[in-house]
Chains A and B, each alone.
Chain A
Amino acid sequence: MKIVGTDRQGNTREVEGRDGWSVMEILRDAGFDIAAECGGACACATCHVYVTDGWYEKLPAPSEAEIDMLDMALAVEPGSSRLSCQVICSDATDGIKVTVAPE
């Protein structure tokens, strides 16, 4: 399963996701500049990404906790902003397009 990730400089590359891992973990381990300060606890909003190209709608809706935490993210775009620690890789996310949000 692929993740098509774009960094803050606008460079796009494809990385291999892992079933059950979060998109944050995959991007961070692949060297994307993603702080994820709280380590994936939905507690800091520093793994903010934009999910684009129709993929936002295909994902399970964000939890109340994630919606609340997004209040502490910068440059939130309703309809595409997600915390990548809360987006879990699966066959259904194969090819998902995400862009790391500005910090």
Chain B
Amino acid sequence: MNAPIATPRPAENGPIETDVIIIGAGPIGLFAVFELGLLDLKCHLIDILDRPGGQCTELYPEKPIYDIPGLPIVTGQELVNRLLEQIKPFNPQFHFSEMATALERQADGKWKLKTDAGTEIVAPVVIVAAGAGSFQPKRPPVPGIEHHENAGDGVGVHYAVRKMESFKGKNILIAGGGDSALDWTINLAPIAKSLTLVHHRDGFRAAAHSVNQMRELEAAGKVKFHVASVKAIHGEPGALKGVTLAGADKTEWHHETDAFLPFFGLTIKLGPIAEFGINLHENLIPVDTARFESQTPGIFAIGDINTYPGKLKLILSGFHEAALASQAAFAIARPNEKLRFQYTTSSSNLQKKLGVS
């Protein structure tokens, strides 16, 4: 189930104006849309991943969750699907595959948020629902590897393949044993000058049919596979020449390559939030428990990213935090209006918003 993706509006067309910017489209950010929506507050959500759900869909889409009130068993993906269904009436605007990179307060008191894709959004309220931070590719602990990232198309270290044709005619080294490692081995082998796959064992967690395809390419001499790992990287910064590989028996050898593609999945780094000027305590945002507002007025923090006495990192706690933060957000976004607290069960007004009456 895919949520609608808003087309990022380039800065030259002027920033997008909305009521609330939510950083993070995990379960808590999604539920915040609901609570804000009941109060007629519109939201834009930003997430570095290419789909909603955060950790639920990235780490455990198929794993059952047993502690969501009223849902005795639900998988991470099912929970996200249900949340998307629940917030659909409020038409949230999503900015996927974008990282929130800068946040500044304008002269009028509103916040302007910028993303790495050039999107600019202005709103009186920002809700940080960023979990443990942003998912970023795992970088192998090889000294100096960072000097070979962003070296250009088809050369150096890449954690993703954006333009397949840029690897045409190159010597490529892929490391890893998951689906990405195997899929790119299979897809790049036909266009590469040479393709070598290394993994720490002669077995793969990737789908069996991918493994079979890789074995066929290996048998046909199109792919070289070694049980080995990358120990060192060679070449001036930005000019990768090769790597040192170490086999299972610790024997080391030199391997020349134009490109090195490590595929070890994603890990969570706090990312640019640390530079937003929000007070942090051990990478968490301290909040009060009446409003779930950070020490910067207008910036709220809900879900795993916040901390307060008694904090429990549970999805259900995040839902509660979203409800209270929304009430406080209303007072900021609609300073001249009185908040009318109503129940979805009895309010025909709310039911109209939800499209059920």
| Cross-chain contact B268 with A74 (CB below 8 angstroms) | no
Q: Report chain B residues within 8 Å CB of A35.
A: 267-268
Instruction: Write the B242-270 contact mask toward A (1 if CB under 8 angstroms, else 0).
Output: 00000010000000000000001101100
Q: Report chain A residues within 8 Å CB of B176.
A: 71-72
Instruction: Write the B96-140 contact mask toward A (1 if CB under 8 angstroms, else 0).
Output: 000000000000000000000000000000000000100000111
**A37-B268, A78-B201 known; A71 and B141 CB under 8 Å?**
no
Query: Does B44 count as interface, using CB distance less than 8 angstroms?
Result: no
The stretch that binds A, out of B19-27, B35-43, B55-63, B82-90, is B55-63
Query: Does A67 count as interface, using CB distance less than 8 angstroms?
Result: yes
The stretch that binds B, out of A10-18, A20-28, A39-47, A82-90, is A39-47
Q: Which residue of A lies closest to B203 (CB)?
A: A67
**A71-B199, A75-B140, A75-B141 known; A38 and B229 CB under 8 Å?**
no
Query: Does B177 count as interface, using CB distance less than 8 angstroms?
Result: yes
| Cross-chain contact B264 with A43 (CB below 8 angstroms) | no
| Cross-chain contact B268 with A103 (CB below 8 angstroms) | no
Instruction: Report the minimal beta-carbon distance from B211 to chain A, rounded to whole angstroms.
Output: 11
Instruction: Report the minimal beta-carbon distance from A83 to chain B, rounded to whole angstroms.
Output: 13
What is the count of residue pairs linking A and B with beta-carbon distances less than 8 angstroms? 65
Number of interface residues of A (CB under 8 A): 24
| Cross-chain contact A73 with B264 (CB below 8 angstroms) | yes
Instruction: Write the B266-297 contact mask toward A (1 if CB under 8 angstroms, else 0).
Output: 01100000000000000000000000000000
With A75-B229, A103-B138, A103-B141 known, 8 other A-B pairs at CB within 8 A are A35-B267, A38-B60, A44-B265, A45-B265, A71-B206, A72-B176, A75-B140, A78-B248
A–B pairs, 23, beta carbons within 8 Å = A37-B55, A37-B132, A37-B267, A38-B60, A39-B313, A41-B59, A41-B63, A43-B59, A43-B63, A44-B59, A44-B265, A45-B264, A68-B205, A71-B204, A72-B176, A72-B178, A72-B205, A72-B265, A74-B141, A76-B200, A76-B229, A77-B200, A78-B200
Interface residue ranges, A against B (CB under 8 Å): 35, 37-39, 41, 43-46, 67-78, 81, 102-103
Interface residue ranges, B against A (CB under 8 Å): 55, 59-60, 63, 132, 138-141, 176-178, 199-201, 203-206, 229, 248, 264-265, 267-268, 313
